[in-house]
Amino acid sequence: MGIDLGTANTLVYVSGKGIVLQEPSVVAIDQDDKLPLAVGEEAKQMLGRTPGNVVALRPLRDGVIADFDTAELMLKHFIRQVHGGRTGLVGPRIVIGIPSGVTGVERRAVMDAAIQAGARDVRLIDEPIAAAIGAGLPVAEPTGNMIVDIGGGTTEVAVLSLQGIVLSESVRVAGDELSDSITQYMKKVHNLVIGERTAEEIKIQVASAYPTQEDEIIMDVRGLHLLSGLPRTVTIKGPEIRESMSEPLSVIIEAVKRTLERTPPELAADIIDRGIMLAGGGALLRGLDTLISHETGIVTHVAPDPLSCVVLGTGRVLENFKQLERVFRGQSRSL
């Protein structure tokens, strides 16, 4: 079983079957008895809409585990959902892709949670390596490959060669930060208070990082008007939203440039030939590939299925375990 334990989404891959689960990393908890009320998509629908005794939580924030107990609960829930009921069978080997900012203590805790959920053998893999493998980059070859994985909480920029990270940089600015900029803009300019889910919808429907043919698309946004205190609809356009995201976008661009500047010349030459590969849900932002290409002068591609790259990478490692065993950071746990 391969798992992408992401800030925004958790995906599970089962060897021989493919991706069997794709759910938001959200848990709704009943405060009265501290028991989970819903996990995944159902819990995401509850974000910002819960009554007093229920909280909908995202246990991972900014690429780190913000609420360990809830993260553990969520991980166990998903593993059991996929593997569940098959008691008596040998527990699965699990490869988990986690943000590289996760601390040693958290790494061990993630492995323990997986063991408790029934795993026989747990390996952790850094998200950039898994994303690169999932995007189809030839990470085992002695060539330089650059991957930029823009998730919910973190953007990880890495140069890889021979199954290892040669150099990398991680910034805590990614999809969530882009959505937050939109929320702030709507409040400041349109006096409209919107929730986390509405900001994400705006980002997906009308936002772009670079002028595109879809700049004319408009969207009606509903929220609470600050001055009247009443619900109101405001019509917005793509270019104003692009402008509102300029700060987080420049943080991402600077991280890519800094990594390129530190890349050894032979590997830099390979990257010029092969281009930069974008993965993670943030790679789906319209025009982001064009912006990065424009800013760095290097051709930039978006992976075929950016949201699934990490979990597909964990799956490929599982299915080619002997050939790709060197990708693990030396941390494993077995029963």
Ligand X SMILES: Nc1ncnc2c1ncn2[C@@H]1O[C@H](COP(=O)(O)OP(=O)(O)OP(=O)(O)O)[C@@H](O)[C@H]1O
Angle at 146 between CA 316 and CA 140, to 5 degrees: 40
The conformation of residue 90, written as its DSSP 8-state character, comes to P
Smaller CB distance to ligand X: residue 267 or 303? 303
Residue 45, both tokens? 């629908």
Q: Which is nearer to ligand X, 139 or 307 (CB)?
A: 307
Residue choice 118, 153, 238, 315 for contact with ligand X (CB under 6 A): 153
DSSP notation for 214-240: GGG-EEEEEEEETTT-SEEEEEEEHHH
- The binding track of 176-205 with respect to ligand X, each residue x by CB under 6 A or -, is x--x--------------------x--xx-
Distance, CA of 176 to CA of 164 (rounded, Å): 28
How many other C-beta atoms are found inside a 10 Å radius of the C-beta of residue 87?
7
**Contact string (CB under 6 A) for ligand X, positions 75-114, x = contact:** ------------------------x---------------
User: In this structure, are residues 109 and 74 in contact, taking their beta carbons and an 8 Å threshold?
Assistant: no
Binding of ligand X by 242 (CB under 6 A): no
Sheet holding 27-30, edge to edge: 35-39, 27-30, 54-57
| Residue 174 interacts with ligand X (CB under 6 A): yes or no | yes
Tell me the site size for ligand X, rule CB under 6 A: 25
151 binds ligand X (CB under 6 A): yes
- Decide whether 97 or 144 has the Cβ nearer to ligand X: 97
Identify which of 286, 183, 273 has the alpha carbon closest to the alpha carbon of residue 236: 183
Q: Round to whole Å and give the CA distance between 329 and 191.
A: 48
CA 181 to chain centre: 18
Among positions 259-318, residues that touch ligand X (CB under 6 A) are 280-282, 284-285, 307
Residue 104 CB, nearest approach to ligand X (Å): 18
**Residue 23, interface with ligand X (CB under 6 A)?**
no
Contact pick of 3, 9, 58, 110 for ligand X (by CB under 6 A):
9
Q: Which of residues 206-235 bind ligand X (CB under 6 A)?
A: none
Site residues (vs ligand X, CB under 6 A): 4, 6-9, 63, 99, 127, 151-154, 174-176, 179, 200, 203-204, 280-282, 284-285, 307
